[in-house]
Structure 1
Amino acid sequence: MNGDWLLRGRDGRLTVYLPSGDAVLCRAERGPTGSWEDTPRTVGGSQKVHPGAAVGQGADGYAHLAAWRPTVPGESGLVHSTHFRPGLAPLDWVPIGHPDQKGDRTGPPAVAVDGAGRGYVFVRNKGGGVSLRNQKVKGGWGGWLDLGGPEVEGELAAVTGESGFVELYACVPGGILRWRQEGDGKKPVRAEGVDAPVRPGTLRALATSVEHTTLFFTDLSGDLCAWRPGEKPVTLLASAGPGPVSAVRCVIEGHDCTVLAQRSASGRVAFAAYPTEQESAGAWWTESGPPLPADAMVSVALDEHDEVVAASLSPSAGTVLLTRRKDEPGLALEAWREI
């Protein structure tokens, strides 16, 4: 899953989105901090999709999902679904086509939702750049737009700033490319990037202030770095393990903090926290929970009380584990439990 797959809905309940063979499933809390639905729902109806779906969420709490589906032998097309509220079934998958009109999968999609609740689906095209299709101001979908940017590698990182404008980050050999909207409903345009030795597949972006989004990535030496446009990347700490971090902003003891989570090399989930946009304050990993399978993913979110909640998902084991922050100083967590 590309993006945060543990989300808080507009009613405060949490939902997890789960890959399952040729489908994407969702499962929600029955009530805030309560029990969970026994049976997951299938996203998009009975239509089969390829693994590697993407999830994004708007300020309205609605989740937008995109995935590749098989069409004719050797070809695929992208589909989109919206999930309005935990406890409801997501809408059926709607075909939105292929960035090159036809062909097979070109890369994993990424999804962001602008301040007006419109979905933006980004994907690499056959030329190695990025293409976009988004919902229009007056409804429906616009045509595919080629945003350029050759030699894009790995997963894309899409994010919506506090301004409500969408941004996209992509890894290329020796650096990071960035696109940004300059106005409501405008086509994202190339903006300032940065030269950096980036490991593909490790990008994760988070809105960290009215002015900035922060991009987290792992460099080729294995360090986790943070970058905000207009500044130089800074090394935060050594990466706990492979893959991207999951990140969320929260208030801890009255301070605006950024919490990071990542499956560590030991197999457990590692957490770190530091004052938001103050990487110079330092951070360190603290491991939590049982060792997880190699394919395990981690996602962090805020619950209805704006407290940190984290989930781990192992597709091979078919298990989802959950923990929440305790009512104690610091980032103390409850025991992990299976839902």
Structure 2
Amino acid sequence: MNGDWLIRGRDGRLTVYLPSGDAVLCRAERGPAGPWDDTPRTVGGGQKLHPGPAVGQGADGYAHLAAWRPTVPGESGLVHSTHFRPRLAPLDWVPIGHPDKKGDRTGPPAVTVDGAGRAYVFVRNKDGGVSLRNQKVKGGWGAWQNLGGRDVEGELAAVTGESGLVEVYACGPGGILHWRQEGDGKAPVRSEGVDAAVRPGTLRALATSAGHTTLFFTDLSGDLCAWRPGEKPVTLLAAAGPGPVSAVRCDIEGHDCTVLAQRSASGRVAFAAYPTEREPAGAWWTESGPRLPADAMVALALDEHDEVVAASLSPSTGKLLLARRKDEPGLALTAWREL
């Protein structure tokens, strides 16, 4: 999954989105703090999907998903679904086409949702740049737009700032490409990027203040870095493992903190926390839970009390584990339990 696959719905209940073969499943809490549904739902009906779906969430709590599906032999198209509440069935998949009108998959999609609740689906196009299709102000979908760029690699990182404006980051030749909206409903435009030795597939973006989003990425030397457009990248600490981090903001003992989680090289989940946008304050990893398979994904969210919840999912085994922050100082978590 590209994006935050563990989310809190508008009613306070948590939902996880699980890739499963040629489908996406969702599973929700029956009430705040559980228990959870015994049987997952299938998102969008019976359409078969390609691997690599994406999910994003708006301020209204609605989840938006995008995925590639096979159409005719050798070709694919993108589809979109909306999930309004954790205990309701998601809407059927709606075709939204192909950035090049037709052809096979061009890259993994990314989804974010603007301040008005409109979904923005980003994907690499056949020329190696970034294309966008988004929901219109008065309903329906606009046309595909080519935002430019070249030789984009790996997953895109789409994010919506506290302003409600949309941004997207991509890994390109020699560094990071960045687009952002200059006004409500407008197409994101290319802005200043940064030269950096980025490892493709490690981008993760988070809204960190009223005026900034922060991009986390791993560089080729293995360090986890943070970058805000207009500034220089800052090395935060050595990456715990090879994949992207999950990130969430929360209050820890009265301080606005950013919490990071990543599957470590040892196979356990590693956590770090630091004062938001104050990377020089430093951070360090603390490992938790059992050793996980190499394909395990890690996600963070806030529960109905704005406390940190962590989840890990291994697609190969289907095991979903969950841990919550304890009611005590610091970032101590409960024991991991399998759902």
Structure-1-length-normalised TM-score: 1.00
User: Cα deviations across residues 256-314 of structure 1 (Å, max 9, x unaligned)?
Assistant: 00000000000000000000000000000000000000000000000000000000000
Shift of 1:173: 1.8
Name the residue aligned to 2:12.
12
Name the residue aligned to 1:254.
254
Shift of 1:243: 1.1
- What does 1:210-229 align with in structure 2 at a 5 Å threshold? 210-229=210-229
Q: Structure 2: state its 5+ residue gaps.
A: none
Q: Does 1:113 align with 2:113?
A: yes
Q: Does 1:245 align with 2:276?
A: no
Shift of 1:174: 0.9
Structure 2 counterpart of 1:142, one-letter code: G
Structure 1 counterpart of 2:80, one-letter code: H
Name the residue aligned to 1:263.
263
Aligned residues: 339
Name the residue aligned to 1:183.
183
Q: Structure 1: state its 5+ residue gaps.
A: none
Q: Provide the aligned C-alpha RMSD in A.
A: 0.4
Q: Does 1:93 align with 2:103?
A: no
Secondary structure class of the residue paired with 1:280: helix
- What does 1:319-330 align with in structure 2 at a 5 Å threshold? 319-330=319-330
Name the residue aligned to 2:50.
50
Name the residue aligned to 1:299.
299
Question: Structure 1 segments of 4 or more deviating over 4 A?
Answer: none
Name the residue aligned to 1:166.
166
Name the residue aligned to 2:26.
26
Tell me the distance in 2 between the aligned counterparts of 1:20 and 1:178. Answer: 32
Structure 2 counterpart of 1:27, one-letter code: R
Structure 2 counterpart of 1:283, one-letter code: A
Structure 1 counterpart of 2:78, one-letter code: L
User: Cα deviations across residues 136-177 of structure 1 (Å, max 9, x unaligned)?
Assistant: 000000000000001100000000000000000000121000
Tell me the distance in 2 between the aligned counterparts of 1:227 and 1:247. Answer: 14
User: Cα deviations across residues 46-78 of structure 1 (Å, max 9, x unaligned)?
Assistant: 111011000000000000000000000110000
Structure 1 counterpart of 2:246, one-letter code: S
- What does 1:129-208 align with in structure 2 at a 5 Å threshold? 129-208=129-208
Name the residue aligned to 2:318.
318
Tell me the distance in 2 between the aligned counterparts of 1:274 and 1:32. Answer: 27
Shift of 1:192: 1.2
